[in-house]
């Protein structure tokens, strides 16, 4: 049987990689990979690390792209690969515009759709930010739903998705994390330097979510600036997302401060290594909320809501939003209250055991 993996951004690539590797190693399937390259550079870094060479590169990223033209171009560009290759199953992942448009294209082509990381929900449409709608539309189109947890399965059941098509598999982010930590144990990454000063509490930061570009990111950066200026015992390390709107705010507020390291986005293994060696992580990223519990690192999430409540329940993730007072208190508590810090870092990781890819392979072998 023929399967096609379609994805377009860094987080999709990281989480698809273990599944692609498992399918390529299986003699049951012919496996091809198609990238839309909705985000280019950060995606290529991941493909290099996992040694994945796309069979189709649609190269769709454009300057000033918007949701209308991106959705249209993904749909159009997928027609030829789908009609030439005629996959029995198209795998999509998560909640991007590529995910939603590729599911629809696969449906038009008569291929089945397998949705990895299915069933996450905020139940908040938050227009015009597309993620929640992308998840829900993909949920309607998919034939196989690979839900990371029981909570995501319950979300799908509440939308009347047929129980027989939902499989709780864990999240393949843990598969990717385990492989990467293993490779780092064999060989540490080459970069070193002021980034990981072991005499300091290193705080790792990422922030790029569009819903935070309306002020949330600036408020976060202002709080971080106050922390940096008042606490000589911390270093802030911030790999800044390539979106120019993110870059502008971050460099404006946090540029030129001696214990703030604003750096380019890191390759996946470098980022994992920094997570592993950091004291605390502050982020609005989805994937990082799942990885950090796997590494025993407390996470403060600068969002009002999350589609990943499991780690909040487990106690490693705290939703702090972007209210400066709340954020400041949470950071200071974690810097100074050892009991709280230990409690958060020792909480259990709810996202699986790193065997998600093998589970998905087995399910598809039996049912496709």
290 is catalytic: no
Is residue 294 involved in binding ligand UDP (CB under 6 A)? no
Judged by CB under 6 A, the number of residues near ligand UDP is 14
Least distance (Å) from ligand UDP to the CB of residue 325? 25
What's the half-sphere exposure (Cβ side, CA atoms, 13 Å) at 129?
A: 14
227 CB contacts (<8 Å, ≥6 apart)?
A: 203, 234, 236, 328, 331, 332
Question: Which of 82, 250 has the CB closer to ligand UDP?
Answer: 250
Least distance (Å) from ligand UDP to the CB of residue 8? 11
3-state helix, strand, coil in the chain (%, to 5): 50, 15, 35
How far is 137 from 331, CA to CA, in rounded Å?
37
Question: Which of 277, 333 has the CB closer to ligand UDP?
Answer: 277
Is residue 132 involved in binding ligand UDP (CB under 6 A)? no
241 is catalytic: yes
Is residue 11 involved in binding ligand UDP (CB under 6 A)? yes
Bridge partners (DSSP) listed for residue 260: 236
Is residue 291 involved in binding ligand UDP (CB under 6 A)? yes
- Mask 193-212, x = binds ligand UDP (CB under 6 A)? -------------x------
Residue from 288, 300, 317, 331 touching ligand UDP (CB under 6 A): that is 288
Alpha helices in 240-285 (DSSP H): 244-254, 268-277
Please tell me what DSSP assigns to residue 240: -
| Catalytic option among 117, 132, 175, 290 | 117
Bridge partners (DSSP) listed for residue 7: 35
What is the number of other CB atoms lying within 10 angstroms of the CB of residue 295?
17
Contact criterion met (CB below 8 Å) for 237 and 270: no
Is residue 308 involved in binding ligand UDP (CB under 6 A)? no
Token code pair at residue 243: 């979106």
Residue with tokens 């300091």: 200
Contact criterion met (CB below 8 Å) for 322 and 138: no
Least distance (Å) from ligand UDP to the CB of residue 285? 3
- Mask 255-284, x = binds ligand UDP (CB under 6 A)? ----------xx-x--x-------------
88 is catalytic: no
| Catalytic option among 12, 39, 115, 131 | 131
Helices (H) and strands (E) in the chain, counts: 15, 13
Least distance (Å) from ligand UDP to the CB of residue 101? 17
Question: Which of 239, 298 has the CB closer to ligand UDP?
Answer: 239
Is residue 5 involved in binding ligand UDP (CB under 6 A)? no
Buried b (16+ CB within 10 A) or exposed e, 244-261: eebeebbeebbeeeebbb
| Catalytic option among 10, 209, 219, 241 | 241
Question: Which of 9, 111 has the CB closer to ligand UDP?
Answer: 9
- Mask 238-257, x = binds ligand UDP (CB under 6 A)? -x------------------
Question: Which of 165, 306 has the CB closer to ligand UDP?
Answer: 306
Q: Using CA atoms in the order 9, 10, 11, 14, what is the torsion angle rounded to 10 degrees? A: 120
Contact criterion met (CB below 8 Å) for 249 and 217: yes
Environment class of 109 (CB within 10 Å of its CB; exposed 0-12, middle 13-18, buried 19+): middle
Least distance (Å) from ligand UDP to the CB of residue 42? 7
Is residue 286 involved in binding ligand UDP (CB under 6 A)? yes
Question: Which of 143, 290 has the CB closer to ligand UDP?
Answer: 290
210 is catalytic: yes
Q: In what order do the strands lie in the sheet with 299-301?
A: 260-263, 234-239, 201-206, 280-283, 299-301, 317-319
Question: Residues interacting with ligand UDP, by CB under 6 A?
Answer: 10-11, 14, 206, 239, 265-266, 268, 271, 285-288, 291
Q: Which residues are catalytic?
A: 95, 117, 131, 208, 210, 241
């Amino acid at each position: 049987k023929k399967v096609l993996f379609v994805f377009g951004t860094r987080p999709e690539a990281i989480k698809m990689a273990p599944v692609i590797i498992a399918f390529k190693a299986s003699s049951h399937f012919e496996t091809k990979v198609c990238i839309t390259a909705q985000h280019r550079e950060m995606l290529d870094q991941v493909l290099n690390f996992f040694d994945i060479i796309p069979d189709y590169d649609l190269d769709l990223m454009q300057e000033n792209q918007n949701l209308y033209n991106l959705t249209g171009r993904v749909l159009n560009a997928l027609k030829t690969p789908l009609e030439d290759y005629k996959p029995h199953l198209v795998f999509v992942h998560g909640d991007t515009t590529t995910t939603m448009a590729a599911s629809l294209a696969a449906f038009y082509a008569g291929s089945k759709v397998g949705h990895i990381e299915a069933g996450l929900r905020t139940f908040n449409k938050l227009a015009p930010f597309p993620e929640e709608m992308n998840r829900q539309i993909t949920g309607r189109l998919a034939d196989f739903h690979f839900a990371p947890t029981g909570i995501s399965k319950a979300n799908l059941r509440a939308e009347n998705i047929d129980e027989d098509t939902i499989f709780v598999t864990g999240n393949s982010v843990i598969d990717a994390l385990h492989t990467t930590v293993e490779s780092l144990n064999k060989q540490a990454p080459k970069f070193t330097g002021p980034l990981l000063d072991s005499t300091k509490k290193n705080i790792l930061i990422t922030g790029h979510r569009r819903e935070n570009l309306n002020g949330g990111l600036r408020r976060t950066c202002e709080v971080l600036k106050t922390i940096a200026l008042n606490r000589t015992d911390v270093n802030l390390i911030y790999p800044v997302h390539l979106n120019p709107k993110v870059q502008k705010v971050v460099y404006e507020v946090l540029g030129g401060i001696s214990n703030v390291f604003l750096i380019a986005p890191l390759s996946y293994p470098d980022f994992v290594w920094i997570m592993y060696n950091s004291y605390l992580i502050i982020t609005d990223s989805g994937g990082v909320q799942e990885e950090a519990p796997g590494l025993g690192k407390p996470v403060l999430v600068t969002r009002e809501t999350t589609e990943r409540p499991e780690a909040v329940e487990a106690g490693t993730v705290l939703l702090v939003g972007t209210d400066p007072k709340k954020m400041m208190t949470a950071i200071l508590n974690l810097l100074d209250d050892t009991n709280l810090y230990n409690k958060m870092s020792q909480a259990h990781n709810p996202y699986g055991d790193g065997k998600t890819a093998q589970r998905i392979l087995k399910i598809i072998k039996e049912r496709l």
